[in-house]
Amino acid sequence: MHGAIVADILRVPWHRFILSTPHTEGERISDFKWNDWMQSLDIFNTEVTFIPFYRKNKINKITSKLTSDYLNIEFFSANRTYQNIIRNLKERKKFYLSSEKLILDIDKKILKKIDDLLDEQGLLL
């Protein structure tokens, strides 16, 4: 999500990928955060691409059972996950970007709040 926020600020189209397991944050929390941010930018009904982490070997299935599915990142194959991300990125057709006008309006509001704060403190020149 943070990558999408930075991409949008830099005016680079982005696509939502889910790279984590539900155990790292929780599906509902993640969806709430994404939807809250996207709705603040008037972006609705985005396509989501799930990228699974791959386990390196069968021993991790046993570890998963012993740790109640709270897995450490060391149990995932970074190379295989990276390849899957690149393949999925190439296959995506839909990317998103907030409107230029909306970003400019947000910038104006932020600058106004800064001016107001400086004025309150007697720092406005």
Instruction: Tell me the per-residue pLDDT of 39-80, one tens digit each, with 9 for 90 and over.
Output: 999 999 899 888 766 555 555 555 555 555 555 555 556 677
Going from the C-alpha of 76 to that of each of 52, 58, 102, the distances in angstroms are 10, 12, 39
The whole-number pLDDT of residue 86 equals 85
Amino acid at 18: I
Tell me phi and psi for residue 14, to 5 degrees. -130, 165
Reported pTM: 0.66
Least trusted range by pLDDT, from 35-39, 86-90, 109-113? 86-90
| Cα gap 79→85, rounded to integer Å | 10
The whole-number pLDDT of residue 49 equals 85
The 3 state secondary structure assigned to 85-122 is: HHHHHHHCCCCECCCHHHHHHHHHHHHHHHHHHHHHCC
| Cα gap 117→80, rounded to integer Å | 50
The whole-number pLDDT of residue 67 equals 54
Q: State the average pLDDT over residues 32-37.
A: 91
Q: State the average pLDDT over residues 68-94.
A: 72
Instruction: Tell me the per-residue pLDDT of 97-121, one tens digit each, with 9 for 90 and over.
Output: 999 999 999 999 999 999 999 998 8
- Whether residue 89 is predicted with pLDDT greater than 60 in this model: the reply is yes
The whole-number pLDDT of residue 123 equals 81
Tell me the two tokens of residue 115: 């001016």
